[in-house]
Amino acid sequence: MSSNKEPSDPTDPKDKLDPDSDTPDSVTDDDATTVDVSKKDVSKKDGGDTDGVDDKKDTADADTVVAASTRTTTNTERREAAKRKLKARLDAEQRARKKRKIIISSVSAAVVIAIVGTATYFIVDKIQTDRFNAAHKDCTYTDKPNNLQTVPVQPPPQVQPNQYELYRKFATETNEAVRLGQAKIRTVPKPDDKQPNSGTTQGSFNTNQGAIPVTFDHASAPCNTGAVISLIDDKFYDGTPCHRMTTGASLKVLQCGDPTATGQSGPGWASPDEPPTNLQPAGPPSPYGGAGPVIYPRGTIAIANSNNSGQASNTGSSQFFLVIQDSQLAADYSVVGKVDEAGLAVLDKIYAGGITPGPAGQAQDGRPKLPVEIQTATVD
């Protein structure tokens, strides 16, 4: 294209549109009205500034609308935010109320359970205590120190001259037993002060002559039966002799339970008297008053004592006697059980061996010639 083109008239409308212009300074509408977008103020040939003032007014009005809109939006957001906060607070309070109700309900339930549980405990405890007391007997075991005493070597007046030699021999042996017995004295704790008042317990006195199985009867004499079982549990009878046997017409027994073999010692305490009430009388009552003797059946196990027909009381402890044949005695000896059939055969063997006469030279009362030692005593 020639560069010698004449300059155009700046007022010529044809030059308002330049299709080759690289800068889009204007746009044209259908009415060919030209609006300059590159400038904020557009001047007309009449030199007026009306369009500029109007534009400023429009801008101010627009700013006012925007500000109002912004304020409206901000107020709405604030109200919504306040609503949300209020809802959150109300929800939190509701949750707190529910939690308090749950806690109160739980605590109330726990208190009720605790009260019911405590009441139940005391009720059950009382029932159990009452049942225990009904099934047991109160027992008082008293102190009884061991005091071994010797016997005179010279025969007393009641000993017949033909028995002097036997008496002196027995007295010498007894005094030697007392001397040696000092080192054999045993003591064990007292039994429980409550003992079962019913039922049976199986046991056995295992001797060098054979086992003597027995059945202990708690109902017959609860305190004394419990005492013997306690002594067995404490091994009191293990390694102790049966130191006496009688063979009289109305009294045939084997006596055991004294570690010193003197007939004078025990565990350091005594049991209460529990005389039998169900034994058959041996004859008519005594004309001088009081009850007559009763029959202790073969196999009976009873507690020896030194009550001397009512002159003392509560003197029984560890020593007991096994009835070899039906025997007659006062109803003063607590019955604690019976010898089983197999044990009776052992008693018969010991009885058949005879006795060594006692200190008064009595042929019916002394020591068994067959030495009898309880090696162990047991209960099931």
Coil, helix or strand for 291?
A: coil
pLDDT of residue 239: 98
30 versus 210: the higher-pLDDT residue is: 210
SS3 for 328? strand
Alpha helix (H) residue ranges in 50-209: 50-134, 164-181
Q: How confident is the model at residue 180 (pLDDT cuts 50, 70, 90)?
A: very high
Confidence of residue 32 (pLDDT cuts 50, 70, 90): very low
pTM value surpassing 0.75: no
Q: CB–CB of 379/201 below 8 Å?
A: yes
Residue pLDDT, tens place only, 328-343: 999 999 999 999 999 9
Residues 6 or more apart whose CB falls under 8 angstroms from that of 244 comprise: 254, 255, 263, 358, 365, 366, 367
What do you get for the CA distance between the two ends of the chain, in Å? Answer: 139
| Cα distance between residue 232 and residue 322, in whole Å | 16
Closest CA to 356 of 369, 375, 343: 369
d(CA 336, CA 189): 20
Give the pLDDT score at 271.
Answer: 97
- Average pLDDT across the chain, whole number: 82
Kindly report, residue by residue over 157-168, the tens digit of the pLDDT: 988 898 888 888
In the predicted model, what is the mean pLDDT of residues 344-359?
A: 92
pLDDT band at 103 (very low <50, low <70, confident <90, very high): confident
Reported as a pLDDT band with limits 50, 70 and 90, residue 373 is very high
Cα 132 to chain centroid, rounded: 16
Q: What is the pLDDT of residue 77?
A: 81
- Whether residue 13 has pLDDT greater than 50: no
Measure the CA–CA gap between 190 and 187, rounded to whole angstroms: 9
DSSP string, 83-126: HHHHHHHHHHHHHHHHHHHHHHHHHHHHHHHHHHHHHHHHHHHH
Is the C-alpha dihedral spanning 35, 38, 43, 49 positive or negative? positive
Q: How far apart are CA 208 and CA 241, in angstroms?
A: 10
Answer CATH for 139-282+290-379 from 3.10.150.10, 3.40.50.970, 2.40.110.10, 2.40.100.10: 2.40.100.10
Residue for token pair 């046991």:
203
What is the C-alpha to C-alpha distance for residues 345 and 207, in angstroms, rounded to an integer? 13
Say if residues 282 and 295 touch (Cβ distance below 8 Å): yes
